[in-house]
Structure 1
Amino acid sequence: PVMVAIKLNWPLEWLTYKRLKTILGRPKVEDHSPQVLDAFRIILQDDIKVYEAARDLAHERKAATPHFQDFRRRFDELQLKVDQSCRFENHASGLQGLDCYHVKNARR
C-alpha cells in the first residue's frame, strides 16, 4: 500500500485496511511433511520464479524511493489504529472457514 500511495500521491490513510479473511486453524507450511513441500515446489516452480522476480523488483524500487522507510513507519502507525476486531463467522454458505465479512445492503 505504501508504494501505491507514493506513486499516486495519495494520503496513507486512504490505504489502511481491515483484514477480512482470516481462517482460524488453517494449515501452516510447517504442518506439511518435507515430501509434500518438495512436491509443491516442483508443481509451483514457475509461480515461484515469477514471485521471486516480482519480490526482487519491489525491493529494488523501495530501495530507490526516497524516504520509503519513513512512509512505511507512518503507514504502520496508521494501520495499528484500524479496528481489527472480528467475530469470525461463516458468511459464505457452502464454504469452509470463518471470516470477518459482513456486508449490509450490498448492491451492484
Structure 2
Amino acid sequence: MARLEGKVAIVTGAGRTGNIGVAVCDAFLREGARAVIATDMRVDDADAITADIESRHGSGRFRLVQQDVTAEGDWATLVESVLGEFGVIDVLVNNAG
C-alpha cells in the first residue's frame, strides 16, 4: 500500500511550473493521495501544471486554485470547499513564501 493512500492534502506555493510545491503534489499523488489541492497567489501556469500532473496520475485527483495564504478569508473558503467535497483534510504543507 502507498504511504498516503486515500489521504487529502493541501499544498501551498504550488502555482509555478518546476517549483518545490508542484514536486510535493506529484510525490503525494504518486504515494496514493486521494486528492491534492494546490494553491498559489499566481496560477499563471495552472493549465500546464494540471495537464502535466494529470498525464501521470489521471484526472480528478489534482486541483490548482488561487489563494493568498495571508488572507484569512481565502483560508476559510478553501477549507470549507475541501471539507465539503472530501470531508477531511489529512495533510497541510505550508510551502508558500
TM-score using structure 2 length: 0.22
Greater relative contact order, per chain length (Cα 8 Å cut-off, separation 6+): 1
TM-score using structure 1 length: 0.21
By percentage of residues, which structure has more helix? 1
